[in-house]
Chains A and B, each alone.
Chain A
Amino acid sequence: MTKSQLITAVAKQSGITLERAAIVVNTMFDQLVAAMKREERIEIRNFGNFVMKSYGGYTGRNPKTGEKVRVPPKRLPFFKVGLGLKHMINGK
């Protein structure tokens, strides 16, 4: 399922126009990204949580050429599935 298929399904199930469904879906994900930028924890009940993790920089190697490369510090979101969804996926 892609974002546009999600929008179509939401429009149909909620009885709203595609345009409005697109605004809601985009607003939702934009807000998640904004919270991640603030390094805020996101908790969505029965779905899951996103937590930001920061990594320090390090010197790595290009495995193909063996060349040294500097890997800059970075922050990435981690998702932990919620209990409700975890059970749903396992058919419980």
Chain B
Amino acid sequence: MTKSDIIEGVYERLGGFSKKEAAAIVETILDVIKEALTRGEKVKISSFGSFSVRAKRKRRGRNPKTGATLEISARRVLTFKPSQVLKSSLNP
């Protein structure tokens, strides 16, 4: 499934909008979520799951190819945690 499949589904479900308008709204949804995450805010979608940004400290890593030790800089990573509702609907 790609973004265009999602847009298609929204377009079919929602009468009175062109496909272009449906695409713009889906894009807005993604943008709003992305902006919240960029601010470091957690995004909680009930009965789906939550996206949260976690800060990782710098650490020493290794280049698996050459074996050379190098420092992995501090960074923020995004994690998704499926909700209990989603987990049980995937495992009936």
Residues of A participating in the B interface, judged by any CB pair closer than 8 Å = 1-3, 6, 9-10, 13-14, 16, 20-21, 23-25, 27-29, 31-33, 35-37, 40-48, 50, 52, 72, 74-79, 81, 85-86, 88-91
Known: A2-B44, A77-B82. A31 touches B5 (CB 8 A): yes
CA A21 to CA B17, docked complex, whole Å: 12
> What is the CB-to-nearest-CB distance from A25 to chain B, in angstroms, rounded to a whole number?
6
Q: Are A89 and B13 in contact (CB under 8 A)?
A: no
CA A77 to CA B29, docked complex, whole Å: 21
Q: Which of B1, B51, B86 has the most CB of A within 10 A?
A: B1
**What number of A-B contacts does a CB cutoff of 8 Å give?**
130
Q: Are B5 and A77 in contact (CB under 8 A)?
A: no
CA A72 to CA B91, docked complex, whole Å: 10
CA A32 to CA B76, docked complex, whole Å: 25
Q: Are B90 and A37 in contact (CB under 8 A)?
A: yes
Q: How large is the interface on B (under 10, 10 to 19, 20 to 34, 35 or more residues)?
A: 35 or more
Q: List 7 A-B contacts (CB under 8 A).
A: A1-B42, A16-B25, A32-B48, A46-B30, A47-B30, A78-B80, A79-B79
CA A86 to CA B92, docked complex, whole Å: 33
Known: A16-B25, A35-B1, A41-B1. A27 touches B9 (CB 8 A): yes
Known: A1-B41, A44-B2. A76 touches B90 (CB 8 A): yes
When C-beta atoms are compared, the residue in chain B nearest to A23 turns out to be: B14
Q: Are B10 and A27 in contact (CB under 8 A)?
A: yes
